[in-house]
Structure 1
Amino acid sequence: MEARSRRIASLAVWALVLTILVPLAGLMGAAPAKALVTDGFDPGYIISDEKFADSGSMTNAQIHEFLQAKGAKCTSNCLKDYRMATSDRDPVAGRCNGYTGRSSENVANIIKNVAVSCGINPQVLLVMLEKEQGLVTATAPSASRYKIAMGYACPDTAPCDTRYYGFYNQVYMAAYQYKVYATSPSSFRYKAGQNNSIQWHPNASCGSSTVYIRNQATASLYNYTPYRPNAAALANPYGIGNSCSSYGNRNFFVKFTDWFGTTTSSLPEGRINSTVVDPGVVRVTGWALDRDSSESIGLHVYVNGSMYKAAEADISRPDVGRAFPGYGDDHGFDLFLRLPAGQTEVCVYGLNVGGGKNNLIACRTVDPIAGSPVGSLTTAQVEPGGVRLAGWALDPDTLDAASLSVTFQGKSVGTIRASSTSEGVVTSYPTHGTNRGFDTVVPVGVGRGDVCLTAVNVGVGKNVSLGCRTLDVFGDNPIGRVDTMYTGPATVQVSGWTIDRNTTGGVNTELLVDGKVVASKVAAASRPDVARVYPGYGEYHGYTVSGVLPAGSHTVCVRFINRGDGTGQTTMGCRSVTAPTGSPTLEIEKVVRTATGYTYTGYAMDPDSTSPVTIRAVTPNGTVLASTTASASRPDRGAAFPLYGADQGFTLTVPLGAKTADFCVTAVNVGAGSNAASCTRFGPDPTARLDAVTAAPGGVDVRGWALDPDTRNAIDVHVYVDGRHTSTLTANGTRADIGRAYPAYGDAHGYSARIQMSAGSHNVCVYALNVGSGTNVLVRCQKVVVSGGLPFGRVDSLVASTGGATVSGWALDYDTANPIDVHVYVDGKMRVASTASGSRPDVARVYPAWGAQRGYSVPLALSSGTHEVCVYGINAGPGKNDRIGCRTITVR
């Protein structure tokens, strides 16, 4: 609010001017009327923002010269000579940048530093000093006038606040207050860009007027000095008006104009009144004019800092014409901008006319609804009439239905529009509604290829592919497949599927044998796998058709009968088949011998019959020992031979109490062919096996089993090497597998032993010795090579350590299972003896008969320099010591 002291001081200053001017006017007589300085006073635009904030309008030196010139008549306590100590002030973000105090500063320096810190024109500060206390031109100002130099904190209704006394304090705080007005405009009574009710005088009875304040600088002046000069005050710019006149803002305008020229820059001005975001377009409205001309001015629109387009502010705006009398109405703009999606800054600049420069009208941040089309191809499948395409799509730039281009095998086949309901589809564009779906059948040619869908762009962006699907598009003739073809006694059965493009119904399917129809059936069985490939046709397109197959070889085909368009039937799946005949199939899968006989498990099938096969156990002289039928369920056999059924399994028990056996399990033939048999002979000679002959220290290890049907006891086994008997073994080791195979004889029939022999090639033969009736049996002979002679091994590493090194590796001798000694030589001299007995599982894996205790790791004390370290294996048995390896190392 306006300070009382400011008003009184202003009246005193201007009354003094008046006393000088009136006598001169009387002496000169009547003078012609001329323009007053206040004729240009606009209560809504007292000073421009740019002019108000031009902190660089004067240098320190120019301010000093100005004060000297204006204060030339001052005789004492003059502003031009005034100096004082200033204090430090901290910066405040968005307002003033603080102040660095000095022990002694002149007024010019204070004014300039405050102007720069707070971003205010030093000319404004000079005018304020004159407007408030007349300090610039005073001839002998009192100290009290310096205390309240800017009238800051001097309200109309109370004394000035002593906390803000002092010239420097007043100048800084007044400038700071103007920054507060500008950075927090909503916190104060008078606001730019709207109508404001402003009193004529502190006396409320004088009334008020409505003023549209066009800029922040003018609003700040009113917040500092809250009264509008009336006509009487403006008619007498250097004097007194009437009792309702106020002078603060008049005096500011008059003094600024007298001293520094126009208070307004000749820059374009205006406003952005609205920004509206619609699909594909951002609409920006507002007005702009340059007071240097009543003509419409040009505009430049910048988007995110880059020039976007030029425009004109030439649309009729009567409201602007009323606010700027004499400039006309044609200063509005209505811009339609197609902008990419994403947060975007739009700035409008007015192009200067006459003096001045182009000026920013305003900026707005918008989030355009724009960009390339979006969507999804959810279904692409072959259906009657073509290819069904379904999904959704939209173009952010338009509310019209998106246009979609369809191609097949790279060629255009049509265009569809996404205009059907898309309920349930969640998009990022709620403004586009829910009618963005498509679901239609597009006719396409025959063949295999990619069906592709492209959303055609409108406005900002580019065309977008919604994807491709590889499809087999078939023609009007039926298609299908023969999955299986089975034969049985005088029968052939074929299964598969078929579809006719022109219908979702079943297709009639014919079975042909040598070109003649032997059966037909409608393909209407469930085939979910077919529905997954051709979902548009459903799942009921499977067939299984059977017909008579005469004896001999034949050509069997399937024919699909066309429905609707097409050229006729489709014949496919032709195969050459022979009617099955011949001997039975007999498979013994398991044999178990017990104390009471044998049990056989397996399956049998006769190609000439679907009846179960008879299974018999028959001796060489024709005696039938046991009989059954192969009628147990065997689903695996039924799946492999579906026309014969699953009843092909059997279990046959042959009750044979004797210790020996000689018979055949026989599948009895039906029709063409002969019986199938699997024969068993057990005893009276021993039964045995040599499982393995493996290398071992000093020879080989043999392992196997042996038993004699005449006894449950263990029998002897003889081992011969190169034709000479070397070992007699008793086959009494546990062999659970033999016990399971021969349960009447128990588990104790295994044998294993190490057979010592010299190095070289040998022939090892094993004999099972007979007990009771029968003879000894040669089990098997095997050639072996026994390694022997020199020790061998490896030096794995030689690693330096403090004052020496450690050599590590492994060693063994084929002639012994015990660890062998190693000798370590350094530079040709024996240094250390050790035993290779450390655990080396890796060696055991390669030489399992010798075990893992074959490693060595020997620390050596070595002098500085380079040394050769060699390791020797010490021989055990035939042979001699041998060098395992050498390494060189440098000890530092």
Structure 2
Amino acid sequence: MKSQLSKIIAVFVLVTLSVPAGSFEAQAAYFFNPHFIISDEEMADYQSLTRGQIQQFLKDNNSGLTRLITTNFEGFTKSAADIIADAAIESQINPKVLLTTLQKEQSLIGDPNPTQRQIDRAMGYRCPDSGSCHPNTLDFGKQVDGAAWQFRQYLDAPLRWTFQAGNQYEIDGYLIRPANTATAGLYNYTPHYSGNERFWRLWVDYWGRNFPDGSLVKAPDSPAVWLIQYGVRRLITSYAVLLSRFNPQSILTISRSDLEKYEIGPSIKFSNFSLLQSPDGKIYLVVDDYIRHITSPEVFRTIGYNIEEVEPIDDADLAAYQLGDPITLESIHPTGALLQDNTSGGVFFVQDGLKHPIYSRELMKANYPNRILTQVSPEELDQYQTGSPVKFRDGTLVRASNDSKVYVIANGIRRWVQDEAAFANFGYKWDNIITTSQQAVLVHELGEPIE
């Protein structure tokens, strides 16, 4: 009999293939992958937080541990933050893992007034479901040190334990195959689906990075590139497709756990301006996230397309796109054109009878690197109505030439990257910042900062 997880995955695949991309905006809840919880590197990153940062984390969460002074496993009096830091260093286990486990097991991060019982059982170390905790471990210092030591054993001797990476197990009715040693270790520590889902959700809440829409990301152990959009990740299926829409230099390498928290959305399978034919015979032009119906064979011929360029697709592929405006005989420059006023020098992106001002050379080069700029008279430009100014593409890093603030563009708005720490935390590259005119920056509405 198939497991419940198998059924869920099957239903999920059907849903993602049948829901238009635009509707994914309502599905921004993060996705728990029970096969991969955190990476081995993350579990072993014992230098991820300093003592001061651990104490500040406890304070920021109004934790009762902020004020806790007690003995460590050797009997020396120390603060809770020092006990956590010492255990992390001694066992070379990420203090973030220890802090997350403190909340998972006894809610000690979020509880401002924990009981002695909570403190004595802080990490759930040697506290099996089948009975009471081992009496020699009922102490905060021993709990933290013992749990850190235990996590280290899972990494150093993975074959000694019940759950091992690469093998499949049934856990609470789910078929789970831990993808790495850290995930297997978490199941050895807590052999329950719900407990590990709680750990993961806390991990994401505490330490996860929420990448702005338009971010291009990849994991360090895979060449696959994904677009973060509407709270999901969309696989870009080939380098040719990537080049047709995006700048490969903008790809961010992020942790596997940061990537895995995003549910998988519809793949991006077709290059920009591909011609697609649906099962009912209609031909569409792909323009970014939209498909535009070419309304007749006459329109098709007038634009100059070749029927041999048309690729048959199924309804599932169509469902990955939103329906854009149809292309008719009245559509002027349906694929867009760069036109420059040969008198004033002003540059416009003209599409479907609208001219959209481009406020800087840098913006033009970033958005239309392979387009030819055509000189035209003011009289020709006057034939077109003026549309909204062109904005930088999502995921672009920009700053005005008269301002040191760096912004990332997401959903057409600019989000200030507040400091160097935030810049580094998201993996941004200084070389990718585009310095441009203030006018080109200000066309983007100011959104929430990135901290």
Q: Aligning the two structures, in what range does the TM-score lie when normalised by the shorter sequence?
A: 0.3 to 0.5
In the superposition, the TM-score normalised over structure 2's length comes to: 0.43
Instruction: Looking at secondary structure, tell me which structure has more helix per residue.
Output: 2
Q: Which has the higher contact order (CA 8 A, sep 6+)?
A: 2
**How does the TM-score come out when normalised to structure 1?**
0.22
Which one has a bigger Cα radius of gyration? 1
